[in-house]
């Protein structure tokens, strides 16, 4: 899964893979077969790469029927063999009743299936998909995303998919490659990406909220202590790739809005085992986000430097918002677990 | 009824227009595709040469054709020296003139149609194993067919009505190189007004017929 903002080079990567664009440098190897090698002077044309390409908007041939579209890449086969392969693919994709229809007579979901069928029919080594869902509106998009995931896993084909929608990446991908300004800024398993973005740039591209900057006090392989807005905070250092910045060096980190805890006033006060990184804050404004409320907090003893019109965004379930009577009670003590502060290594 | 000369002019005009249109299809469509889809050396010059007859007075185009193909022309001269035959003042000359005059309309219309075909269709054809030529024949041209048809209709109409360049290169020889427009001109000049009217009506009817037929075809191609 290639993920990144528009114009960051994802589609270009796909076209290089497919031979529609010739890269200046590097090598492209698929299943041990070199498709491109700048040093060896290898540049297979798209026709010889045996890759399936699903275009943005599908690019189904409008003048050909569903069956002819699916069979388009099978010209090298004999007539009988081609027809049986087309029938097999069409059947497997549940398109049997539509074989004689033209693309304009199909729904978006059916078009996607035909596009997949056309790319899969020649049995490619890899299937490339360029923003297959971007042109659709939300409900259809979800449905087609599930459909796409099911078809790809059913056919057992490795796929490279381009998207600028992170939730799409999470739903469909095993590995996510993050692009920005023509560069890969992280390539990782999706769970790792979610919990350990490699840098502040990755976190920003991912749309993570509460990306903040502080100053290192002390870093050990177990924990990093740092100062932020006059508060002394502590975060767990990553056991797999501990990060040891120098004291007094700047530090970027983020706090997921749903992991900030408001401490209830009707219970006994905070205890050190459960509540760490304690701070006092005021709710300055809030926004109803459907099932949750977003609260925008300003620290009460905030040190310099000042930042924005709030310090921290906190997300609470609607029920909690009502039980705690937040519309009337604006002052809260908050705590953030050491493990809920993610440090972003500077690169 | 029409005179024997008028009938022969009509038959010649139709033959000339049909052949000129066929040549335009065979040469103009590949040319339009090359101009629309490729960058090559001399592309600008080729584009200019093909388009010039559209803006030049037909007599000027005819003059160039004489310089090129006449008995003492750059190509016509050696040809005449070798074979004793020249295209000038034969009905082939009428075909050449009509073809050249119709070419800009064919190429420009076809080119616009080809350029309007989304390149993703061709790229899809490439990834499905098609060469560029195959992609053009199986995908691009079928998708541009309405524009190609429109280009052919315009070329046919232009060829049917060609006057100036034909007069320069083929002359106005009754029964041999006299096409309908030339026959109309001659009839008016010599005061045969009923003959002129008959030819005018025939040509109008023929042109209208072509337009109606192409609209039908275009409607079906949609």
Residue A94, Ramachandran bin (φ over 0: left; ψ between -120 and 50: alpha; else beta):
left
For A243, counting Cβ atoms within 10 Å of its Cβ (0-12 exposed, 13-18 middle, 19+ buried), the class is middle
Collect all residues of chain B within an 8 Å Cβ-Cβ radius of residue A57: 120
CATH number, domain containing residue B193: 1.10.3720.10
Q: How many angstroms separate the CA atoms of A61 and A52, rounded?
A: 15
Quote the minimal CA–CA distance from A94 to chain B in Å.
22
Tokens of B132: 């560029």
Rg over CA atoms, chain B: 20
Which of A56, A58, A61 to mutate to probe the B interface, most B CBs <10 Å? Answer: A61
Quote the minimal CA–CA distance from A71 to chain B in Å.
10
CB-CB: which of B121, B129, B142 is closest to A59?
B121
**What topology does CATH give the domain A2-197?**
Rossmann fold (3.40.50)
Q: What is the mean pLDDT of each run of 10 residues along chain A (347 residues)?
A: 83 88 88 86 87 91 94 89 92 90 91 92 91 78 85 87 83 86 85 82 85 86 85 81 80 88 76 76 87 87 70 89 85 86 81
Quote the pLDDT of residue A335. Answer: 87
Provide CB contacts within 8 A for A290, sequence distance 6+: none
Domain residue spans of chain A: 2-197, 209-347
- Ranges in chain B, pLDDT < 50: 222
Quote the minimal CA–CA distance from B129 to chain A in Å.
4
- Provide the residue range defining the domain that includes B68: 4-221
Q: How many angstroms separate the CA atoms of B159 and A99, rounded?
A: 43
If one counts the domains in chain B, the total is: 1
Q: Given CB atoms, is B129 within the 8 Å cutoff of chain A?
A: yes
Residue with structure tokens 């749903």? Answer: A258
């Amino acid at each position: 899964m290639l993920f990144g903002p528009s114009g960051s080079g994802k589609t270009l990567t796909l076209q290089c893979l497919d031979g529609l664009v010739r890269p200046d440098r590097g090598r492209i190897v698929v299943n041990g077969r070199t498709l491109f090698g700048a040093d060896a002077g290898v540049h297979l044309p798209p026709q010889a790469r045996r890759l399936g390409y699903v275009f943005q908007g599908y690019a189904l041939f409008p003048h050909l029927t569903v069956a002819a579209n699916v069979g388009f890449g099978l010209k090298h086969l004999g007539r009988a063999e081609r027809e049986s392969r087309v029938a097999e693919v069409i059947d497997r994709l549940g398109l049997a009743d539509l074989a004689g229809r033209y693309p304009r007579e199909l729904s978006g979901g059916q078009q996607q299936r035909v596009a997949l069928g056309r790319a899969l029919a020649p049995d490619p080594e890899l299937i490339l998909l360029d923003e297959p869902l971007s042109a659709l509106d939300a409900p259809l998009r979800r449905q087609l995303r599930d459909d796409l995931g099911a078809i790809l896993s059913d056919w057992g084909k490795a796929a490279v998919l381009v998207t600028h929608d992170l939730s799409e990446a999470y739903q469909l991908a095993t590995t996510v490659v993050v692009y920005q300004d023509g560069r890969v800024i992280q390539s990782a398993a999706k769970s790792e990406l979610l919990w350990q973005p490699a840098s502040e740039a990755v976190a920003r591209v991912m749309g993570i909220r509460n990306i903040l900057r502080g100053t290192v006090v002390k870093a050990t392989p177990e924990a990093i202590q740092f100062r932020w807005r006059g508060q002394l905070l502590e975060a767990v250092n990553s056991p797999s790739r501990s990060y040891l910045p120098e004291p007094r060096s700047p530090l970027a980190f983020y706090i997921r809005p749903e992991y900030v805890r408001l401490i209830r006033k009707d219970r006994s006060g905070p205890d050190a085992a459960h509540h760490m990184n304690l701070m006092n804050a005021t709710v300055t404004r809030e926004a109803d986000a459907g099932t949750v409320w977003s609260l925008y907090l300003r620290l009460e003893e905030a040190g310099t430097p000042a930042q924005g019109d709030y310090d921290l965004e906190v997300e609470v379930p609607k029920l909690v918002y009502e039980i705690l009577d937040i519309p009337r009670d604006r002052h809260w003590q908050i705590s953030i677990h050491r493990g809920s502060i993610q440090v972003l290594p500077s690169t | 009824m029409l005179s024997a000369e008028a009938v022969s002019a009509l038959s010649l005009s139709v033959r000339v227009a049909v052949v000129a249109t066929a040549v335009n299809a065979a040469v103009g469509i590949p040319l339009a595709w090359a101009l629309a889809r490729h960058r090559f050396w001399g592309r600008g010059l080729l584009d200019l040469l093909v388009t010039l007859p559209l803006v030049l007075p037909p007599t000027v185009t005819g003059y160039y054709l004489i310089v090129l193909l006449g008995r003492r022309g750059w190509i016509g001269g050696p040809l005449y020296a070798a074979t004793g035959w020249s295209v000038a003042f034969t009905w082939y000359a009428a075909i050449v003139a009509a073809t050249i005059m119709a070419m800009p309309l064919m190429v420009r219309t076809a080119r616009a149609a080809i350029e309007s075909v989304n390149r993703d269709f061709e790229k899809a054809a490439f990834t499905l194993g098609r060469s560029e030529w195959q992609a053009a024949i199986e995908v691009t041209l079928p998708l541009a067919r309405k524009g190609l048809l429109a280009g052919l209709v315009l070329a046919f109409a232009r060829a049917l009505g060609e006057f100036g360049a034909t007069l320069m290169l083929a002359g106005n020889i009754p029964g041999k190189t006299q096409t309908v427009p030339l026959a109309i001109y001659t009839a008016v000049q010599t005061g045969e007004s009923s003959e002129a009217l008959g030819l005018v009506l025939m040509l109008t009817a023929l042109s209208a017929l072509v337009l109606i037929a192409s609209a039908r075809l275009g409607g079906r191609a949609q």
